[in-house]
Chain A
Amino acid sequence: MQIKHIQSVFKKDALELMRDRRTWFVNIVLPVLLYPVLALVGIQVFQITQPGPEDLPQIGIINAPAEFKELLEFGGEQEDREVEDNKGRKTIIKPSPVLRIKELTPSEASAFQRYLDSEEKSNEESLLALQKIDCSSAIVCHQDADMLNNWRLELVANNAHPDYLLALRYIRQAAVDYQKILLKQRLADSGLSADFTKPAALITNNLASTSESVTTHFLAAFLPVILVLMVIVGTFHPAPDLIAGERERGTLETLLSWPSDRQSIFIGKLLVVIVATIVTVLLNLGSLSITAGIISNQLPSGGNNRMMALSELVNIGPRAIVFSIIALFPITLLIATLSLAVAGLAKSYKEAQNYLSPMVILFTMPSMIVLLPHIKPNMLLDLIPLIGPLVALKACLQGADMAVMHLFISTAASFGIAAMVVSWATTLLNKEQFLFPNIKNISLKQFKQMRQHSPLHGGLEAKLMFAAVLGTFLISSAIFANVNTVVMVSAPLIVGIAIPCLLFVKIGGYDPRQALYFNKPNPMNWAYTILLIPLLILVSGTLGNLQAPYMPENLPEEEMMRNLFNDLTSLGGIPLLVVCVAVVPGICEELLCRGVLLSGFNKSLGPRYAILMSAFLFAAMHMSPYRFVPQFVLGIFLAVVVLRTRSIWPAMVLHFAHNGLLVLGATYVESDPDLQRKLQEAAGGDTVSSTLIYGSIIAFVICASMAAAICHLLKPPPIEAGSEANPA
């Protein structure tokens, strides 16, 4: 990577982008003008659609008491409000009517009286009557002639009328308020206090300001999602233009013929996308804040409740601004890197935009997770791209403990993921198909023709195989779920994983020595394999200790595993337990991960990516976030062993021994409460001690280094003629 070349690419692309009218429109003019224009249109529409007195829903009343009539007119109890404008002038606002009330004449009311009195209800007559008086509803009021003199307020309504729902809301409120008034009178008549009917009352004392409350409940949830949308808008023009657009304009070949490494070129272009996006987002935020500020200044404070909430909402403090800007970097970095890399696969600007369209959903949908009320940052979420920074930003805005630390960790994780994408994109730029896409644009027939020539499948087939095996594994798990525990554990692995892998190699006509590494290992490798067993167990164990502080207590999957081990032990003792949880997974998972996947990725991507990809998929297929890291590290070591020895057998033995010894150890500790207690004491009791953490880090580094050194000693077997045409 050369800084000078990154600067050159950045400078030239930024200049070209600035001279493109589309950039000005999408990244500058649109964000600046969008919100004022929307606000202007919104205010106009709001004012136009405000109902006049003649547009209010009309209802008919029959025999209604005067107090109830007044409540109906104003939608419940309303008091005069004192409102202060931005110049400090105070005005009294009288409540305005919400319904038009029509007192019905006896002849108009007769249809409703008949409807209520008759046994056989005739809807049509009442509907016609409502239509005639132009009302959605009519309220017929009766006072019982008994001792209590209770009022019955019967509503006859055309519930298909467009005004019905709005009218019903005000009628309900008026009825509830009228009931309260009558109750108060009745209590007073009986010499009782108005609180007689409220033996317990909730009195809320809010300590935080409305602004703080709005920030926690509204802004903290929505601002991260709004940021993601703004970032997407910011990347949408530069990302397709800088690689796909350059290819379309015929300048990419020239650029790639100059003496620069592909990484510098990609990073230079990425920086342009990032800067353009950040400028767009800041303009968006600035325009949004200014527009909202202007609107809020126009609104009287302390007026209508909804308006007050809006004026408080726009009060984005410096804290929110600082955190939003910090979070903007990882979000932009991730979206810009992925967008540029994906858009780079297209042959033209338009095609690149088509590729980016589904990515809008891909980025927006996960970001919605921050809308969940109880979501809080944790170490696992921090590592998830996009979601980590968004959840951390939400926590920062809510002022949660450790939120800033989570924001920085998730930012670091986003940098790591972006670096991986840059690395992938660089590999892509180095491929000749990238510059000349037509030369490998092959038909299915040609694909078969190519495959027949090759004794080994490629990365694409490996990925498809992983997806297929995941499907067969889940289906067979469902089929064997209700059989006994031995079948439930082993059959999905054999039927869902091992058999499809063997069939894939057989039907595909691939060489099992290359596709599954079915080679006899060098005899010395067995000795090194035995040395690796305790080291890998220690590596997994120390990683487990390091994860312990972040693991919730009483994990359901731990309980499930414990039950499973007990069932298997009761059915056939320790040997059956070892066969089911160590031998069968050791064979089946190795056939898939270190066989089909590793060999396919090795052919397409080279050993480094093959190791990482196969380990990632190996960890992912266990479907447990808490086992992911140890399984990923184990997967890396097993893949290295296979590639160094060119044989799958040592990895199978390692996998079997690793699982077997860990399970035996856990079962032994479980069976001896005294030992369990002693171990817990040694580890620092219920809380995880810092000694254990630092000890585990040191032990992990030592064991992993020793394991890596032993892996380095592993040697491939001597190549016999025809044994391996394409050695790893």
Chain B
Amino acid sequence: MYLFDLGKLPGQQSMLIFHVLARMGVEALVIVSPKNPLVSIGYFQDAGREIDLSFCRENGISFMKREIGGGGTYLDENQVFYQLIWKRSNPRFPVEMSQIFEELSFPACETYRKFGIEASFRQENDIVTRKGKKIAGEGGGDIGDCMVLVGGILLDFDYETMSKVLKVPDEKFRDKVYKSMEENLTTMKRELGDIPPREEVVQTLVREYEKVIGRFESVALDNRIVERMKTLEKKFTSDRFLFKKTRKVPKGIKIKGGVEIRYGIHKAKGGLIKTVEELEQEKIKEIGISGDFQFYPKDDLSTMEVELRKTEFDQGKINNKIEQFYEEHRIQAPGVMPEDFTKAIVQSESEGPE
């Protein structure tokens, strides 16, 4: 198996490389960071729905779609990506998805441990610290005759830019995403107080992968690979590929396994209701409700938000809670019934941001 230790490559090339090697059937470990920032979206995502295209264009941030799974993410030089490519027929590698991620994440977990960060693999395909904070996300897929697993060691992370590159319904939602990422996502810098030297991290990562996979043969990029990257870049940045529609509208933004920010909107007779909710393990952790409807007593809207915390994200349970609240607090909301709030909260998936 080959090792491509590529240092930093221009943004898109840092992600194109594994697509090219997989198409060529080259089994390898690639270690690379993007030289300039880049937004990468998953194969089933539509750039128009996921990315704030104007922000990216105004700030010179390129964007591309990858042929592997997962959600939209912001990449920059403070992330060290490991991209493992192997032939589907290679019996050395697992076939069960959960096994692939768990077994092949182990070297990344060990790398964090060598630097003093206790990290382990957790479904669904995140690497988390002992305190449960996500410190790496992974994605993978079948490309050509190969399988590919990609993950990134977070030396540092630009939370603010990440929250700005995503397409969101309003600033309230963006703020919620930012705060939730700050709370649930960590980095080597945050855990250690400083960023360790990149080269040391890379060497450790390679050593840990060698323990699992065997010795690598170091090689450099050749012209053939570079030329194929150029060709593929055209496809990956084409409107046809980037803006391919999927019928499933995004439900929200996943921060880590079990934590998600959702957006809801519903037009009731008495006005428009907007909600932003943070879900943790399928329960409402926090919710914000706004809109142009009337609600009396006014202060009770925020009390209702508090009452909804810890409620299971289930239409019936949410509706019961709101009905009960209406009754106990003698709520007067012309043209806005409890089920209108429930619809805004629960049916967010069919009425998400366009």
A, B from the same assembly: no
Q: Tell me the A residues contacting B by CB distance below 8 Å.
A: none
